[in-house]
Amino acid sequence: QVLLVESGGGLVQAGGSLRLSCAASGRTIRTYAMGWFRQGLGKEREFVSAISWTDDSTYYADSVRGRFTISRDNAKNTVYLQLSSLNPEDTAVYYCAAAFMATNRALSRMSQTLYNYWGQGTQVTVSS
């Protein structure tokens, strides 16, 4: 019922920045918490960041806190992930996900099982 399409990935040098976008369609994301996950080659998908639907509280994995910023624009039905100070370890496919009416406590657990809908992913490659 909710289609999520990521964009903005690409090739960037270490220390550089990118802004990823997640455009939703089908219904408003107003009542969905939104999250970003990533999966590197040969690795499991891991939590990156999430933003609440109730009060815009944000959550970050330790590995990205201070470097990445999640935001949402409900009027545009879009969620963003600003990536800065990138390093090669950030290379991965980045996925957008939506969790219907997820509580902040649930979001803080950073579990992917919370999310109902997933995008197709966008590749971020950081060269050294």
pLDDT in tens, 55-98: 999 999 999 999 999 999 999 999 999 999 999 999 999 999 99
**CA-to-CA distance for 72 and 80, rounded, in angstroms?**
6
Q: Which amino acid is located at 18 in the chain?
A: L
CA nearest to 82, candidates 20, 2, 33: 20
**CA-to-CA distance for 39 and 91, rounded, in angstroms?**
8
Burial 90-122 (b: 16+ CB within 10 A, else e): bbbbbbbbbbeebeeebbeebeeebbebbbebb
**CA-to-CA distance for 12 and 85, rounded, in angstroms?**
10
| Residues 22-64: tens digit of each pLDDT | 999 999 999 999 999 999 999 999 999 999 999 999 999 999 9
Model confidence band, residue 16 (pLDDT cutoffs 50, 70, 90): very high
Are 53 and 102 in contact by the 8 Å Cβ rule? The answer is yes
What pLDDT is recorded for position 119? 98
